[in-house]
Chains A and B, each alone.
Chain A
Amino acid sequence: MGLLFDFLKGKKNTEPTLSAYAQGTVVPMEEIPDQVFSQGIMGFCCGIEPTDGKVYAPADGTISQTTDTLHAVGLAVDGMELLIHAGVDTVEMNGAGFTNAVQEGQAVKKGDLLLTMDLEQVRAAGHGTVVILAVTNSDDFAAVELMASGKVSVGDGLMNVRK
């Protein structure tokens, strides 16, 4: 149905579908220091090593889930089931150092603040601070590709997802 709809609209998806969701340096999937992400088990993903701890929405969508541990947010965007996961093994921090800015079911716009992470506190606890964006149902799409490398600012084109 999505395909037909896109066809009727003549949509070509030339604009990157997902934008940089943090200020920092892009980390390709293979280089994320966590095997469930680097091996693609969580779906196609990339990371941003952040220069500050603010994490923003990569596109317009709806918050599909928040977690008690505050370090991860689910975001539904046009058929994509996104997981935004701040830090490596930060589930172990049980919320310390994290604040959540959104609620389940809330509509968000690209660039809206989703969560904050205290980088110093996460590092002090011995965890990596890379913020990961995973397209958890990337198998449902024809192509998902990383469009950016190096330093990015919030809102820069990052990933292209085609149906």
Chain B
Amino acid sequence: MKQFQYVITDPVGIHARPAGLLVKAAKALDSTVTVEKVGGKSSAATKLMAVMGLGVKGGDTVTVTVEGGNEEASLQAMEQFFRENL
């Protein structure tokens, strides 16, 4: 299991578009990816409505956890995704 924390810079947070892109990116990996709003709920990164339901806003911190498969590659892919999209 590997994880990182990320502070959301998109002022609207994880709304429909980035949530959809996140689900697509996470489905492409061979690891199980979980997103947790620090101090809030957590969700599988592949479940669109659950990801949107986290209610992550700009300025919130999320913890992203990857488990199984090629964890190093999955971690890097997710870090890159968050930097580029959120």
Contact = CB atoms under 8 A, between A and B. Distances in A.
B16 A72 contact: yes
> Per DSSP, are chain B's interface residues mostly helix, strand or loop, or mixed?
helix
B29 interface: no
Interface string A74-101: 1000000101010001010010000000
Nearest to A42: B20
Given A64-B53, A91-B12, A91-B15, A41 B20 contact: yes
A83 B53 contact: no
Contacts, number: 45
A69 B15 contact: yes
Contacts of B48: 42-43, 81, 83, 136-137
A64 B49 contact: yes
A117 to B, nearest CB: 15
Interface of B: 12, 15-17, 20-21, 23-24, 47-49, 52-53
Nearest to A94: B12
Interface in A91-149: 91, 94, 136-137
A51 interface: no
A82 B52 CA distance: 12
18 contacts: A36-B20, A36-B21, A41-B20, A41-B21, A41-B24, A42-B16, A64-B53, A65-B52, A69-B12, A69-B15, A72-B15, A74-B52, A83-B16, A83-B48, A83-B52, A91-B15, A91-B17, A94-B12
Given A41-B23, A43-B48, A136-B48, A85 B16 contact: yes
Given A41-B23, A43-B48, A137-B49, 11 more contacts: A36-B20, A36-B21, A64-B49, A81-B47, A81-B48, A83-B49, A85-B16, A91-B17, A136-B48, A136-B49, A137-B47
A153 interface: no
A137 B46 CA distance: 10
Nearest to A67: B15
